[in-house]
Amino acid sequence: MQLVIVESPAKAKTIEKYLGKDYKVLASYGHVRDLPPKDGSVDPDDGFAMTWQGYADKAKRIKEIADLAKKADRLILATDPDREGEAISWHVQELLTQKKVLPKEVSRVTFNAITKKAVTDAMANPRELDHDLIDAYRARRALDYLVGFTLSPVLWRKLPGAKSAGRVQSVALRLIAEREREIEAFKPQEYWSVTARMQHDGQAFDARLTQYDGEKLDRLSLGDEGVATEAKAAVEAASLIVSKVETKPVTRRPSPPFTTSTLQQEAARKLGFSASHTMRIAQQLYEDGAITYMRTDGVQMDGSAISEARKAIADRFDGGYIPEKPNFYSTKAKNAQEAHEAIRPTDFRKDKAGSGDHARLYDLVFKRAMASQMAPAQMERTAVDFADGTGQIVLRANGQVVKFPGFLAVYQEGRDDFSSGGRDDDDGKLLPMMREGDRPAVNAVDAEQHFTQPPPRFSEASLVKRLEELGIGRPSTYASIIQVLKDRGYVRTEGNRFWAEETGRLLTGFLERFFERYVAYDYTAGLEDELDEVSGGRADWQKVLAAFWRDFKPKTEEVMEQKPSDITAELDQFLAPYLFPETGDGSDPRVCPRCGDGKLSLRGGRYGAFVACSNYPECKYTRQFAQAGGEKGESVEPEELGVDPATGAMIETKTGRFGPYIQSGEGKEAKRASIPEDLPGELDLKMAIELLSLPRIVGQHPETGKDIEAAIGRYGPYLRHDGKYAKLQNTAEVFETGMNAAVAKLAEAAANKGKGRGQRDPLKIIGKHPRTDQEIKLMDGRYGAYVTDGSVNATIPKTVDQDQLTLEEAAQLIDERAAKAPPKKKRKAPAKKKKAAVKKAAPKKATAKKNAPAKKAAAKSG
What is d(CA 485, CA 504) in angstroms, rounded to the nearest whole number? 9
Q: Are 810 and 163 contacting, i.e. CB atoms less than 8 angstroms apart?
A: no
- How many Å apart are CA 602 and CA 622, to the nearest integer? 10
How many CA atoms does the CB half-sphere of 30 hold within 13 Å?
Answer: 14
DSSP readout, 123-150? Answer: HTS-B---HHHHHHHHHHHHHHHHHHHH
Give CA–CA dist 432/381, Å, rounded.
13
Reply yes or no on whether 293 is catalytic. Answer: yes
CA distance 446 to 222: 13
Strand 105-108 vs strand 74-77: parallel, antiparallel, or unpaired?
parallel
Distances (CA, A) of 134 to 62, 296, 529, 531: 20, 18, 16, 11
Q: At what angle do helices 478-487 and 169-185 cross, to 10 degrees?
A: 70
Eight-state DSSP code of residue 625: S
8 Å CB contact between 809 and 769? no
Contact at 8 Å (CB) between 719 and 709?
yes
Sequence-ordered list of residues with C-beta below 8 angstroms from that of 122, at least 6 positions apart, any chain: 78, 109, 110, 111
- CA dist 770 to 162, 487, 827, Å? 10, 9, 28
Q: Where are the beta strands (DSSP E) in 271-426?
A: 377-387, 394-404
Compute, in degrees rounded to 10, the torsion defined by CA atoms 124, 128, 129, 135. Answer: -140
Q: Which residues contact 705 (CB under 8 A, 6 or more apart)?
A: none
- Alpha carbon distances (Å) from 635 to 139, 161, 480, 661, 807: 47, 20, 35, 13, 27
Secondary structure tally for the chain: helices H, strands E? 24, 32
C-alpha to C-alpha distance for 831 and 822, rounded to whole angstroms: 16
Sign of dihedral through CA atoms 282, 287, 289, 294?
A: positive
Active-site option among 137, 293, 578, 621: 293
- Give the residue numbers marked as catalytic: 293
